[in-house]
Amino acid sequence: MAKTYDAIIIGAGVIGACTAYEMAKKGWKTLSIDKLPEAGYGSTSGSCAIIRTYYSAFETCALAFEGWHYWKDWEGYIGTGVADDLIKYHDTGCLVIKTPHNHNLSNVCDVMDQIGCPYNEVPVNDIPTYLQGADTRSFEPAKRPEDDGFGEATADAVNGAVFFPRGGYVSDPKLSARNAQQAAEAAGAEFMFNAQVSELRQKDGRIQGVTLSDGTEIDAAVVVNVAGPHSFVINDMAGVSAGMNIKTRALRHEVAHVPAPKGMDFERNGIIYSDSDIHTYARPEVGNNILIGSEDPACDPKEWVEDPDEFNADFSDQWKIMVMRLAQRLPELGVPEHARGVVALYDVSDDWMPIYDRSDLDGFYMAVGTSGNQFKNAPVAGKIMTAIIEACEAGHDHDAQPVTFHLDHIDKDISLGAFSRKRKINENSSFSVIG
Protein backbone atom coordinates (compact mmCIF):
# COMPACT_ATOMS: atom_id res chain seq x y z
CA MET A 1 0.00 0.00 0.00
CA ALA A 2 1.37 3.42 -1.00
CA LYS A 3 2.48 5.84 1.69
CA THR A 4 0.42 9.01 1.83
CA TYR A 5 1.45 12.59 2.53
CA ASP A 6 -0.30 15.94 2.32
CA ALA A 7 2.37 17.19 -0.08
CA ILE A 8 5.42 15.88 -1.93
CA ILE A 9 8.18 18.36 -2.71
CA ILE A 10 10.48 17.38 -5.57
CA GLY A 11 13.91 18.85 -4.86
CA ALA A 12 15.81 19.56 -1.66
CA GLY A 13 17.89 22.55 -2.65
CA VAL A 14 17.71 25.68 -0.54
CA ILE A 15 14.30 26.73 -1.96
CA GLY A 16 12.87 23.22 -1.74
CA ALA A 17 14.06 22.84 1.86
CA CYS A 18 12.65 26.24 2.84
CA THR A 19 9.34 25.32 1.18
CA ALA A 20 9.22 22.12 3.22
CA TYR A 21 9.98 24.12 6.37
CA GLU A 22 7.27 26.71 5.72
CA MET A 23 4.65 24.11 4.83
CA ALA A 24 5.52 21.95 7.85
CA LYS A 25 5.16 24.96 10.14
CA LYS A 26 1.62 25.38 8.81
CA GLY A 27 0.77 21.77 9.65
CA TRP A 28 1.35 20.08 6.28
CA LYS A 29 2.69 16.52 6.34
CA THR A 30 5.40 16.83 3.68
CA LEU A 31 7.90 14.52 2.02
CA SER A 32 10.83 16.03 0.14
CA ILE A 33 12.32 13.76 -2.55
CA ASP A 34 15.73 14.36 -4.10
CA LYS A 35 17.71 12.19 -6.51
CA LEU A 36 20.99 13.33 -4.90
CA PRO A 37 22.42 12.15 -1.57
CA GLU A 38 22.00 15.32 0.53
CA ALA A 39 20.12 18.60 0.73
CA GLY A 40 21.67 21.33 -1.42
CA TYR A 41 23.83 18.84 -3.32
CA GLY A 42 22.74 20.09 -6.76
CA SER A 43 22.64 23.62 -8.18
CA THR A 44 22.44 25.14 -4.68
CA SER A 45 25.97 23.91 -3.94
CA GLY A 46 27.22 25.64 -7.09
CA SER A 47 25.68 29.00 -6.15
CA CYS A 48 27.79 32.02 -5.30
CA ALA A 49 25.10 32.60 -2.63
CA ILE A 50 25.02 36.35 -3.18
CA ILE A 51 22.44 38.36 -1.23
CA ARG A 52 21.41 41.57 -3.01
CA THR A 53 18.40 43.85 -3.28
CA TYR A 54 18.84 45.50 -6.69
CA TYR A 55 16.65 44.07 -9.45
CA SER A 56 14.77 45.40 -12.43
CA ALA A 57 11.18 45.23 -11.12
CA PHE A 58 9.35 46.35 -7.97
CA GLU A 59 8.23 42.87 -6.94
CA THR A 60 11.69 41.31 -7.26
CA CYS A 61 13.37 44.17 -5.38
CA ALA A 62 10.78 43.99 -2.60
CA LEU A 63 11.19 40.22 -2.38
CA ALA A 64 14.97 40.53 -2.17
CA PHE A 65 14.92 43.24 0.51
CA GLU A 66 12.53 41.10 2.54
CA GLY A 67 14.82 38.11 2.05
CA TRP A 68 17.88 40.00 3.33
CA HIS A 69 16.28 40.20 6.77
CA TYR A 70 16.17 36.40 7.05
CA TRP A 71 19.84 35.96 6.18
CA LYS A 72 20.81 38.74 8.56
CA ASP A 73 19.15 36.75 11.37
CA TRP A 74 19.45 33.22 10.00
CA GLU A 75 19.36 31.50 13.37
CA GLY A 76 16.26 33.47 14.25
CA TYR A 77 14.65 32.11 11.09
CA ILE A 78 15.48 28.41 11.44
CA GLY A 79 15.37 28.32 15.24
CA THR A 80 18.00 28.23 17.97
CA GLY A 81 19.65 24.86 18.50
CA VAL A 82 18.03 23.25 15.45
CA ALA A 83 21.09 23.01 13.18
CA ASP A 84 24.31 21.14 13.97
CA ASP A 85 26.37 23.77 12.11
CA LEU A 86 25.08 27.19 11.01
CA ILE A 87 26.01 29.05 7.84
CA LYS A 88 27.70 32.42 8.19
CA TYR A 89 26.29 35.43 6.39
CA HIS A 90 28.85 38.10 5.44
CA ASP A 91 27.10 41.49 5.37
CA THR A 92 29.54 43.25 3.05
CA GLY A 93 27.24 45.41 0.96
CA CYS A 94 27.18 45.56 -2.85
CA LEU A 95 28.81 47.99 -5.27
CA VAL A 96 27.20 48.28 -8.71
CA ILE A 97 28.73 50.26 -11.58
CA LYS A 98 26.38 52.62 -13.42
CA THR A 99 26.13 51.84 -17.13
CA PRO A 100 23.74 52.47 -20.02
CA HIS A 101 22.91 48.74 -19.77
CA ASN A 102 21.38 49.26 -16.31
CA HIS A 103 20.04 52.75 -17.10
CA ASN A 104 22.61 54.19 -14.68
CA LEU A 105 20.60 52.44 -11.94
CA SER A 106 17.98 55.22 -11.99
CA ASN A 107 15.07 52.76 -12.18
CA VAL A 108 16.58 50.55 -9.47
CA CYS A 109 17.11 53.50 -7.11
CA ASP A 110 13.52 54.63 -7.70
CA VAL A 111 12.32 51.21 -6.55
CA MET A 112 14.71 51.30 -3.57
CA ASP A 113 13.00 54.54 -2.53
CA GLN A 114 9.59 52.88 -2.88
CA ILE A 115 10.51 49.95 -0.64
CA GLY A 116 12.64 51.91 1.82
CA CYS A 117 15.90 50.15 1.01
CA PRO A 118 19.00 52.33 1.60
CA TYR A 119 21.69 53.07 -0.99
CA ASN A 120 24.55 55.52 -1.48
CA GLU A 121 25.59 57.27 -4.67
CA VAL A 122 29.31 56.74 -5.35
CA PRO A 123 31.17 59.25 -7.56
CA VAL A 124 33.73 57.84 -9.97
CA ASN A 125 36.68 59.04 -7.91
CA ASP A 126 35.35 57.18 -4.84
CA ILE A 127 35.03 53.78 -6.55
CA PRO A 128 38.59 52.75 -5.53
CA THR A 129 37.56 53.36 -1.91
CA TYR A 130 35.23 50.36 -2.28
CA LEU A 131 37.31 48.40 -4.81
CA GLN A 132 41.00 48.84 -4.14
CA GLY A 133 43.10 49.57 -7.22
CA ALA A 134 40.12 49.89 -9.56
CA ASP A 135 40.66 51.30 -13.04
CA THR A 136 37.56 53.48 -13.45
CA ARG A 137 37.71 53.82 -17.23
CA SER A 138 34.92 52.39 -19.34
CA PHE A 139 35.53 49.31 -21.48
CA GLU A 140 32.05 48.68 -22.89
CA PRO A 141 30.78 47.01 -24.91
CA ALA A 142 31.99 43.69 -23.55
CA LYS A 143 34.28 41.87 -25.96
CA ARG A 144 36.07 38.57 -26.29
CA PRO A 145 39.89 38.43 -26.33
CA GLU A 146 39.90 37.69 -30.07
CA ASP A 147 37.88 40.86 -30.77
CA ASP A 148 39.60 44.09 -31.82
CA GLY A 149 40.01 46.47 -28.92
CA PHE A 150 39.67 43.94 -26.11
CA GLY A 151 41.14 45.46 -22.94
CA GLU A 152 41.25 48.95 -24.43
CA ALA A 153 39.31 51.73 -22.71
CA THR A 154 36.44 53.23 -24.71
CA ALA A 155 35.83 56.22 -22.40
CA ASP A 156 37.77 58.06 -19.73
CA ALA A 157 35.43 56.98 -16.94
CA VAL A 158 32.34 54.98 -16.09
CA ASN A 159 29.29 56.92 -14.92
CA GLY A 160 29.83 56.30 -11.22
CA ALA A 161 28.34 53.60 -9.02
CA VAL A 162 25.81 52.90 -6.29
CA PHE A 163 26.55 51.12 -3.02
CA PHE A 164 23.77 49.01 -1.53
CA PRO A 165 24.59 48.28 2.14
CA ARG A 166 21.87 45.62 2.47
CA GLY A 167 23.72 42.79 0.81
CA GLY A 168 26.50 40.27 1.08
CA TYR A 169 27.01 36.55 0.68
CA VAL A 170 26.63 33.21 2.45
CA SER A 171 29.79 31.29 3.21
CA ASP A 172 28.41 27.82 2.41
CA PRO A 173 25.31 27.59 0.19
CA LYS A 174 24.98 23.83 0.54
CA LEU A 175 24.96 24.15 4.33
CA SER A 176 22.12 26.65 4.09
CA ALA A 177 19.94 23.92 2.55
CA ARG A 178 21.04 21.52 5.27
CA ASN A 179 20.08 24.10 7.90
CA ALA A 180 16.63 24.53 6.33
CA GLN A 181 16.23 20.75 6.12
CA GLN A 182 16.96 20.38 9.83
CA ALA A 183 14.50 23.15 10.64
CA ALA A 184 11.87 21.45 8.47
CA GLU A 185 12.46 18.08 10.13
CA ALA A 186 12.12 19.69 13.55
CA ALA A 187 8.72 20.94 12.35
CA GLY A 188 7.70 17.43 11.21
CA ALA A 189 8.82 17.29 7.57
CA GLU A 190 10.40 14.15 6.09
CA PHE A 191 13.17 13.86 3.50
CA MET A 192 14.08 11.04 1.10
CA PHE A 193 17.41 11.13 -0.76
CA ASN A 194 18.90 9.04 -3.58
CA ALA A 195 15.35 8.67 -4.91
CA GLN A 196 14.30 9.60 -8.43
CA VAL A 197 10.77 10.42 -9.54
CA SER A 198 9.91 8.52 -12.73
CA GLU A 199 6.17 9.23 -12.97
CA LEU A 200 3.68 11.80 -11.77
CA ARG A 201 0.42 9.94 -11.35
CA GLN A 202 -2.78 11.84 -12.06
CA LYS A 203 -6.48 11.23 -12.50
CA ASP A 204 -9.31 13.41 -13.84
CA GLY A 205 -7.07 16.49 -14.07
CA ARG A 206 -5.71 16.12 -10.53
CA ILE A 207 -2.30 15.01 -9.26
CA GLN A 208 -2.42 11.75 -7.31
CA GLY A 209 1.21 11.24 -6.30
CA VAL A 210 4.55 10.06 -7.61
CA THR A 211 6.18 6.81 -8.61
CA LEU A 212 9.90 6.38 -8.01
CA SER A 213 12.34 4.68 -10.35
CA ASP A 214 12.33 1.59 -8.13
CA GLY A 215 8.54 1.30 -8.49
CA THR A 216 7.64 2.75 -5.09
CA GLU A 217 4.36 4.67 -5.17
CA ILE A 218 3.77 7.61 -2.84
CA ASP A 219 0.41 9.39 -2.76
CA ALA A 220 -0.25 13.08 -2.18
CA ALA A 221 -2.91 15.56 -3.20
CA VAL A 222 -0.21 18.21 -3.71
CA VAL A 223 3.13 17.93 -5.53
CA VAL A 224 5.56 20.85 -5.72
CA ASN A 225 8.23 21.05 -8.43
CA VAL A 226 11.37 22.64 -6.97
CA ALA A 227 13.75 20.56 -9.06
CA GLY A 228 16.16 23.30 -10.15
CA PRO A 229 17.77 22.62 -13.56
CA HIS A 230 15.58 19.50 -13.84
CA SER A 231 12.40 21.59 -13.44
CA PHE A 232 11.50 21.48 -17.13
CA VAL A 233 11.89 17.70 -17.11
CA ILE A 234 9.42 17.41 -14.21
CA ASN A 235 6.99 19.85 -15.86
CA ASP A 236 7.11 17.83 -19.08
CA MET A 237 6.52 14.68 -17.04
CA ALA A 238 3.44 16.32 -15.50
CA GLY A 239 2.20 17.46 -18.93
CA VAL A 240 1.91 21.10 -17.86
CA SER A 241 4.52 22.78 -20.08
CA ALA A 242 2.05 23.57 -22.88
CA GLY A 243 0.01 25.71 -20.48
CA MET A 244 2.98 27.89 -19.56
CA ASN A 245 3.66 31.16 -21.36
CA ILE A 246 6.98 31.36 -19.50
CA LYS A 247 9.04 28.17 -19.52
CA THR A 248 12.41 27.11 -18.10
CA ARG A 249 15.60 25.61 -19.51
CA ALA A 250 18.95 24.48 -18.10
CA LEU A 251 21.91 26.74 -18.85
CA ARG A 252 25.55 25.78 -18.30
CA HIS A 253 27.58 28.40 -16.41
CA GLU A 254 31.10 28.75 -15.05
CA VAL A 255 32.46 30.62 -12.03
CA ALA A 256 36.19 31.34 -11.68
CA HIS A 257 38.08 31.13 -8.38
CA VAL A 258 41.31 33.18 -8.38
CA PRO A 259 43.67 34.77 -5.84
CA ALA A 260 43.09 38.44 -5.04
CA PRO A 261 45.73 40.87 -6.35
CA LYS A 262 48.86 41.16 -4.24
CA GLY A 263 48.37 43.67 -1.44
CA MET A 264 44.55 43.47 -1.53
CA ASP A 265 42.84 41.82 1.45
CA PHE A 266 39.66 41.02 -0.46
CA GLU A 267 38.56 38.33 1.97
CA ARG A 268 38.43 40.84 4.82
CA ASN A 269 37.60 44.07 2.99
CA GLY A 270 35.93 42.85 -0.20
CA ILE A 271 32.35 43.47 -1.27
CA ILE A 272 29.85 42.10 -3.72
CA TYR A 273 30.74 43.72 -7.02
CA SER A 274 28.56 43.96 -10.14
CA ASP A 275 29.80 45.61 -13.32
CA SER A 276 27.84 45.53 -16.57
CA ASP A 277 30.50 47.72 -18.19
CA ILE A 278 32.69 44.59 -18.30
CA HIS A 279 29.72 42.22 -17.73
CA THR A 280 31.32 40.61 -14.72
CA TYR A 281 30.45 40.15 -11.05
CA ALA A 282 32.61 39.10 -8.12
CA ARG A 283 32.56 38.31 -4.42
CA PRO A 284 35.13 37.46 -1.72
CA GLU A 285 36.04 33.86 -1.00
CA VAL A 286 38.01 32.25 1.82
CA GLY A 287 41.79 32.24 1.51
CA ASN A 288 41.76 35.80 0.09
CA ASN A 289 40.35 34.62 -3.21
CA ILE A 290 37.79 36.12 -5.58
CA LEU A 291 34.85 34.35 -7.18
CA ILE A 292 34.18 35.74 -10.67
CA GLY A 293 31.07 35.20 -12.76
CA SER A 294 29.68 36.41 -16.06
CA GLU A 295 26.72 38.74 -16.57
CA ASP A 296 26.07 37.12 -19.94
CA PRO A 297 27.03 39.75 -22.52
CA ALA A 298 25.65 39.40 -26.03
CA CYS A 299 29.08 38.46 -27.42
CA ASP A 300 29.22 35.25 -25.37
CA PRO A 301 27.32 32.21 -26.66
CA LYS A 302 24.88 30.58 -24.25
CA GLU A 303 25.15 26.85 -23.74
CA TRP A 304 21.64 25.46 -23.21
CA VAL A 305 21.54 21.88 -21.95
CA GLU A 306 18.90 19.44 -23.19
CA ASP A 307 19.67 16.74 -20.63
CA PRO A 308 20.55 18.09 -17.14
CA ASP A 309 22.13 14.73 -16.28
CA GLU A 310 24.60 15.04 -19.16
CA PHE A 311 26.65 18.22 -19.52
CA ASN A 312 30.31 19.16 -19.84
CA ALA A 313 31.61 19.79 -16.30
CA ASP A 314 35.09 20.81 -17.51
CA PHE A 315 36.23 24.42 -17.71
CA SER A 316 36.24 26.08 -21.13
CA ASP A 317 37.93 29.22 -22.45
CA GLN A 318 35.07 31.14 -20.79
CA TRP A 319 36.90 30.73 -17.47
CA LYS A 320 39.92 32.69 -18.69
CA ILE A 321 37.75 35.27 -20.44
CA MET A 322 35.91 36.10 -17.19
CA VAL A 323 39.19 36.57 -15.33
CA MET A 324 40.59 38.75 -18.12
CA ARG A 325 37.47 40.91 -18.08
CA LEU A 326 37.78 41.56 -14.36
CA ALA A 327 41.48 42.30 -14.90
CA GLN A 328 40.38 45.29 -16.98
CA ARG A 329 38.93 46.76 -13.79
CA LEU A 330 41.64 45.34 -11.49
CA PRO A 331 44.89 45.63 -13.49
CA GLU A 332 46.91 43.88 -10.78
CA LEU A 333 44.75 40.76 -10.99
CA GLY A 334 46.71 37.81 -12.32
CA VAL A 335 45.38 35.14 -14.65
CA PRO A 336 46.32 31.77 -13.11
CA GLU A 337 47.66 29.01 -15.30
CA HIS A 338 45.28 26.41 -13.85
CA ALA A 339 41.52 26.91 -13.69
CA ARG A 340 39.66 26.60 -10.39
CA GLY A 341 36.02 27.26 -9.66
CA VAL A 342 32.63 25.75 -10.44
CA VAL A 343 30.86 24.49 -13.54
CA ALA A 344 27.14 24.01 -12.92
CA LEU A 345 23.67 24.46 -14.37
CA TYR A 346 21.20 27.30 -13.95
CA ASP A 347 17.44 26.82 -14.05
CA VAL A 348 16.50 29.81 -16.21
CA SER A 349 13.10 31.10 -17.25
CA ASP A 350 12.42 32.92 -20.52
CA ASP A 351 12.73 36.33 -18.82
CA TRP A 352 15.21 35.20 -16.14
CA MET A 353 12.63 35.83 -13.41
CA PRO A 354 11.27 33.00 -11.23
CA ILE A 355 7.96 31.20 -11.57
CA TYR A 356 6.14 30.75 -8.24
CA ASP A 357 2.77 29.40 -9.28
CA ARG A 358 0.21 26.64 -9.67
CA SER A 359 -0.08 24.76 -12.94
CA ASP A 360 -2.88 23.64 -15.23
CA LEU A 361 -2.84 20.32 -13.36
CA ASP A 362 -4.75 20.70 -10.10
CA GLY A 363 -2.55 20.08 -7.10
CA PHE A 364 0.71 20.49 -9.06
CA TYR A 365 2.72 23.60 -8.19
CA MET A 366 6.10 24.97 -9.18
CA ALA A 367 8.93 27.09 -7.81
CA VAL A 368 11.18 27.09 -10.87
CA GLY A 369 13.40 29.34 -12.98
CA THR A 370 15.21 30.26 -9.78
CA SER A 371 18.90 29.46 -10.27
CA GLY A 372 21.36 32.33 -10.02
CA ASN A 373 18.87 34.90 -8.79
CA GLN A 374 16.67 33.41 -6.09
CA PHE A 375 19.05 31.85 -3.53
CA LYS A 376 18.68 35.05 -1.54
CA ASN A 377 14.90 34.73 -1.57
CA ALA A 378 14.66 31.10 -0.43
CA PRO A 379 12.94 31.76 2.94
CA VAL A 380 10.44 34.15 1.32
CA ALA A 381 9.92 31.78 -1.62
CA GLY A 382 8.97 29.04 0.84
CA LYS A 383 6.39 31.32 2.39
CA ILE A 384 5.09 32.38 -1.03
CA MET A 385 4.66 28.80 -2.21
CA THR A 386 2.81 27.91 1.00
CA ALA A 387 0.50 30.91 0.53
CA ILE A 388 -0.28 30.01 -3.11
CA ILE A 389 -0.84 26.32 -2.30
CA GLU A 390 -3.12 27.01 0.65
CA ALA A 391 -5.16 29.55 -1.31
CA CYS A 392 -5.58 27.31 -4.36
CA GLU A 393 -6.35 24.19 -2.33
CA ALA A 394 -9.06 26.20 -0.58
CA GLY A 395 -10.65 26.95 -3.98
CA HIS A 396 -9.12 30.34 -4.83
CA ASP A 397 -8.59 31.04 -8.56
CA HIS A 398 -5.01 32.33 -8.49
CA ASP A 399 -4.92 32.71 -12.28
CA ALA A 400 -7.94 35.02 -12.36
CA GLN A 401 -7.17 36.86 -9.13
CA PRO A 402 -3.51 36.49 -8.09
CA VAL A 403 -2.81 36.06 -4.42
CA THR A 404 -1.55 39.19 -2.65
CA PHE A 405 1.38 38.48 -0.36
CA HIS A 406 2.47 40.62 2.58
CA LEU A 407 6.19 41.07 3.21
CA ASP A 408 6.38 41.29 6.97
CA HIS A 409 9.80 42.86 7.48
CA ILE A 410 9.39 45.71 4.99
CA ASP A 411 5.60 45.99 5.43
CA LYS A 412 4.78 45.90 1.72
CA ASP A 413 2.22 43.94 -0.32
CA ILE A 414 3.05 42.41 -3.68
CA SER A 415 0.92 40.61 -6.24
CA LEU A 416 2.17 37.09 -6.84
CA GLY A 417 0.86 37.41 -10.38
CA ALA A 418 4.30 38.88 -11.14
CA PHE A 419 5.65 35.32 -10.88
CA SER A 420 2.88 33.63 -12.87
CA ARG A 421 3.63 31.03 -15.52
CA LYS A 422 1.12 32.90 -17.72
CA ARG A 423 2.74 36.33 -17.47
CA LYS A 424 4.17 38.15 -20.44
CA ILE A 425 7.94 38.37 -20.66
CA ASN A 426 9.11 41.20 -18.42
CA GLU A 427 10.96 43.50 -20.80
CA ASN A 428 12.49 45.35 -17.82
CA SER A 429 14.46 42.23 -16.95
CA SER A 430 18.23 42.40 -17.26
CA PHE A 431 18.09 38.89 -18.85
CA SER A 432 21.09 37.89 -16.78
CA VAL A 433 21.80 36.92 -13.20
CA ILE A 434 24.40 37.27 -10.49
CA GLY A 435 24.55 33.66 -9.47
Q: What is d(CA 144, CA 135) in angstroms, rounded to the nearest whole number?
A: 19
Average pLDDT over residues 227-246: 96
What is the average per-residue pLDDT within 45-72? Answer: 93
d(CA 310, CA 42): 14
pTM: 0.96
CB of 77 within 8 A of CB of 86?
Answer: no
Grade residue 195 by pLDDT with cuts at 50, 70 and 90. Answer: very high
The predicted model gives 334-356 an average pLDDT of 93
Mean predicted confidence (pLDDT) in 303-307:
95
pLDDT band per the 50, 70, 90 thresholds, residue 89: very high
- Residue 430: is its pLDDT beyond 80? no
Using CA atoms in the order 119, 264, 434, 409, what is the torsion angle rounded to 10 degrees?
A: -40
CA 406/CA 93 separation, integer angstroms: 25
Q: Is the pLDDT of residue 429 over 80?
A: no
Look at residue 109 and tell me whether its pLDDT is greater than 60.
yes
Say whether pLDDT at 426 is over 70. no
- Of 74, 50, 54, 75, nearest to 64 (Cα)? 54
Q: What is the mean pLDDT of residues 26-43?
A: 96
- Which comes out higher in pLDDT, residue 27 or 430? 27
For a pLDDT cut of 90, what percent of the chain falls above it?
92
How far is the C-alpha of 89 from the C-alpha of 68, rounded, in Å? 10
Model confidence band, residue 425 (pLDDT cutoffs 50, 70, 90): confident
Q: What percent of the chain has pLDDT over 70?
A: 97
CB 71 within 8 A of CB 251: no
pLDDT of residue 304: 95
Cβ atoms < 10 Å from Cβ of 312? 10
pLDDT of residue 427: 64
Amino acid identity, position 33: I
Asked if 27 and 160 count as a contact pair (C-beta separation under 8 A), the reply is: no
pLDDT of residue 371: 75
Q: Average per-residue pLDDT in the chain?
A: 95
Read off the pLDDT band of 316 (50, 70, 90).
very high
Go through the domains of the chain in sequence order and give each one's CATH number.
Answer: 3-87+172-248+351-419 (3.50.50.60), 90-169+251-346 (3.30.9.10)
